[in-house]
Amino acid sequence: MRMVFRWFGEGNDQVALWQIKQIPGVEGIVWALHDVPAGEEWPMDKIEAVKRQAEAHGFHIDVVESVNVHEDIKLGRPTRDRYIENYKRTIEKLGQVGVKVICYNFMPVFDWIRTDLYRELEDGSTALFYEKSLLQNIDPEVLVRTIADNPKFTIPGWEPERLRTLSGLFEAYRDVTEERLWSNLQYFLEEIIPVAARCGIRMAIHPDDPPWSVFGLPRIMTGQDNIRRLLRLVDHPSNGVTLCSGSLGANPANDIPAMIREFGDRIPFAHIRNVRVYENGDFIETSHRGADGTVDIVGIVEAYHDIGFTGYARPDHGRHLWGEECRPGYGLYDRAMGIMYLWGAWDAIQRTKKGR
């Protein structure tokens, strides 16, 4: 297990590289050019700038999260070929600077969705929260109004001006069934996986978060069966999955240790985080400690240990602690403690198994 830590870049992250350096066992940063819009080719000078910053602190840049997929690719529009070409050029450049894993997702319109970014937990810390009933059966029109009326309603990465473009996108997705989305994903993978393979890069799709359809939009990366189907679309080691225990864990039916054992070396990148799912389907992100949530974190670490996992892992999100001001889910303290919990579990398992 090679521990890495997500860093949003100079001037874009309240957490500094020197602080990350003091978390035990972190060897690299998980990065991206967050200011390059989806669909555009990443400029080499900007890539090299991040590499220099990371290396000045002794970190590698092996893992990129994410190279975002342009909406036209997910929609299967004729213009997708142009964006796929740009995507390939970006893969090639990342290969040139030594990148090994590229995380991406194939969620229509939205990335992760929560209804409250600062829900208070019993201990006074705050965390990302999802209230199911608020979003259940919402139709797009109502959504656009909800956004306007509910100041706590947030869609990460959507500035008010972009929120206004939503209506058009909902319209465009009206004919995109799950099967259409699958075939658009297949088209994309058949194009990019050979390029990634040639560059020594493994693509790793991130599961949908939450792992179910929202606002009537199709979502297809939600559990064990469809991850299996994804891996078979292009049956090659460069076509892999970012196994995110937090995203998948929002559905208690998902057996994450079983997925780890089944998918094994097709998991180049692990996101590990706990979540507490309530009876009504709401969920909140908690500490990594197993007892605090409903995800069996030690069972997950054990499964990785059992398969001899040599891929990259990061704590996914954390709570906001001790008054820190940070990107929602991306504070320093809780993710750092999460890492120590993961190492604690890993080292204990290692010792026990050796003793057997």
Q: Which of residues 85-124 bind ligand CS2 (CB under 6 A)?
A: 103-105, 111-112
40-70 per-residue burial string, b: 16 or more CB within 10 A, e: under 16: eebeeeebeebbebbeeeebbbbbbbbbbbb
Residue 321 binds ligand CS2 (CB under 6 A): no
User: Which one of Mn ion, ligand CS2, none is in contact with 104 (Cβ closer than 5 to 8 A by kind)?
Assistant: ligand CS2
For residue 241, what are the β-bridge partners? Answer: 205
Measured between alpha carbons, how far is 154 from 252 in angstroms, rounded to an integer? 24
User: Which one of Mn ion, ligand CS2, none is in contact with 112 (Cβ closer than 5 to 8 A by kind)?
Assistant: ligand CS2
Measured between alpha carbons, how far is 163 from 70 in angstroms, rounded to an integer? 16
Q: Which of 206, 288, 305, 320 binds ligand CS2 (CB under 6 A)?
A: 206
User: Which one of Mn ion, ligand CS2, none is in contact with 65 (Cβ closer than 5 to 8 A by kind)?
Assistant: ligand CS2
| Catalytic residue status for 244 | yes
Total chain residues near Mn ion (CB under 5 A) = 3
| Catalytic residue status for 316 | yes
Record the tokens describing residue 321, joined without a space: 């602690």
Residue 288 binds ligand CS2 (CB under 6 A): no
The distance of closest approach from Cβ of residue 179 to Mn ion in the complex, given in angstroms and rounded to an integer, is: 26
CB of 244 or CB of 284, closer to ligand CS2: 244
Measured between alpha carbons, how far is 205 from 296 in angstroms, rounded to an integer? 22
CB of 102 or CB of 260, closer to ligand CS2: 102
| Sequential DSSP letters for 56-73 | HTT-EEEEEE--PPPHHH
Total chain residues near ligand CS2 (CB under 6 A) = 12
Residue 271 binds Mn ion (CB under 5 A): yes
CB of 233 or CB of 348, closer to ligand CS2: 233
User: Which one of ligand CS2, Mn ion, none is in contact with 90 (Cβ closer than 5 to 8 A by kind)?
Assistant: none
Sheet of 116-120, strands arranged across: 116-120, 126-130, 283-285, 275-277
Q: Which of residues 190-249 bind Mn ion (CB under 5 A)?
A: 244
Record the tokens describing residue 216, joined without a space: 């009537």
Is the Cβ–Cβ distance between 247 and 297 less than 8 Å? no
Record the tokens describing residue 232, joined without a space: 């078979």
| Catalytic residue status for 317 | yes
Is the Cβ–Cβ distance between 286 and 127 less than 8 Å? yes
Residues in the site for ligand CS2, rule: CB under 6 A?
Answer: 65-66, 103-105, 111-112, 206, 209, 244, 316-317
Active site residues per annotation: 206, 244, 271, 316-317, 330
